[in-house]
Amino acid sequence: MATIWETRQGDTHYEVRSAGGSRRLYTNGVFHSQYNPNNPITGNVWDLLLLPVFFYQPGEIKRILMLGVGGGAVIQQLNYFIEPAEIIGVEYDPMHIDIARRFFDVTQTNVSLHQADAVEWLANYKGPKFDMIIDDLFGEVDGEPTRAVEAGNKWVRRLFSNVTPQGLVVCNFISFKELKSSAYMQDSLVKHRIKAAFCLSNPYYVNAIGAFLGKDAGSKQLRERLHGIPQFNSPQKISKLNYRIRQI
């Protein structure tokens, strides 16, 4: 692995590294993004943020809000597989936005990136509802990743107030325990909105990705759709898709 660019802003150290055909973003040593334009499946956590979109038929997910852009790996995956009409990315760190554009080629015309605090941005948002919201808001403490916004009642209710009735909210948690204690699983008003809920994980990472749908669905349905997508089932084993899913 080679470092192709790095800089320091105050106490924050940014690195972009190459690993084969992939680009990786590290901030203070925390692995934030990985993307390979020749193989959009990373084998990492970002695949898990993408996969819930396949609970929906092509064309159903038109507008996506990405909270926490990092290097933009998930944005690239979404554009590769479903080409939504619009993706809005909100990222607190202006350097991450610059890196996403310069090194991860997040320059598509259907993508707009906003440098802002995600909580404030969403509180002030007055536009149409989204078909999908991805909450990947992470920071770091002592070199370890940690959620930047607690998934409490107020925050999760705000997310659901900005998603369409049958739409999808996806949230990255540092552990299954954190997911289980969140408002998604504890708030009665939020639970009323959720018709199907799943946890996706990768055996090599501790993260637990919650997928919360406004419509009925089953894990078998997702597996069948993924089986029909050539990039996930290459006979040459190019794909590194590695996931587990369970209904919660």
Check which CATH number belongs to the domain holding 93 and give it: 3.40.50.150
189, 78, 188, 79: which is closest to 134 by C-alpha?
78
In a domain, 16, yes or no: no
pLDDT at 233: 75
C-beta separation of 94 from 117 below 8 A: no
pLDDT for residue 176: 97
Give the lowest-confidence range in 72-76, 129-133, 225-229, 238-242.
Answer: 238-242
Give the pLDDT of residue 150: 96
Predicted local confidence at residue 188, as pLDDT: 97
Identify the pLDDT of residue 181: 98
The conformational region for residue 162 under phi > 0 = left, psi -120 to 50 = alpha, else beta, is alpha
Q: What is the pLDDT of residue 207?
A: 96
Please state, in angstroms and rounded to a whole number, the distance separating the CA atoms of residues 8 and 167.
Answer: 39
Residue 17 lies in a domain: no
What distance in Å separates the CA atoms of residue 17 and residue 19, rounded to the nearest whole number?
A: 7
29 within a domain of the structure (yes/no): no
Q: How confident is the model at residue 241 (pLDDT cuts 50, 70, 90)?
A: confident
* For range 193-215, the mean pLDDT: 97
For the chain, the domain total comes to 1
For the chain, what percent of residues have pLDDT higher than 70?
Answer: 98
- In this prediction, residues 8-22 reach a mean pLDDT of 93
C-alpha distances (whole Å) from 240 to each of 23, 28, 43, 76, 96 are 16, 26, 5, 16, 25
Domain hosting residue 82, numbered range: 42-247
Give the residue from 28, 46, 145, 44 showing the smallest Cα distance to 95.
28
Contact in structure between 190 and 168 (CB atoms under 8 Å): no
What confidence category does residue 239 fall into, taking pLDDT thresholds of 50, 70 and 90?
low
pLDDT at residue 78 is higher than 90: yes
**Is 58 contained in some domain?**
yes
pLDDT at 139: 80
| Residue-level pLDDT at 43 | 87
Band the pLDDT of 247: cuts 50, 70, 90: very high
Residues 66/74, Cβ–Cβ less than 8 Å: yes
Which alpha helices (DSSP H) does the chain contain, by range?
Answer: 45-50, 73-81, 94-103, 118-124, 153-161, 176-180, 183-186, 188-193, 219-227
Residue 65 has pLDDT above 60, yes or no: yes
238 pLDDT more than 60? no
Average pLDDT over residues 36-65: 94
Q: What is the pTM of this model?
A: 0.95
**Of 112, 118, 77, 72, which Cα lies nearest the Cα of 95?**
72
- Is 228 a domain residue? yes
Mean pLDDT check: name the lowest of 62-71, 149-158, 223-232. Answer: 223-232
Calculate mean pLDDT across residues 83-107: 97
Q: Is residue 166 part of a domain?
A: yes
Asked if the structure places residue 70 within a domain, the reply is yes
Q: What is the mean pLDDT of the chain?
A: 94
Residue 50: inside a domain: yes
Q: Does the pLDDT value for residue 217 go beyond 70?
A: yes
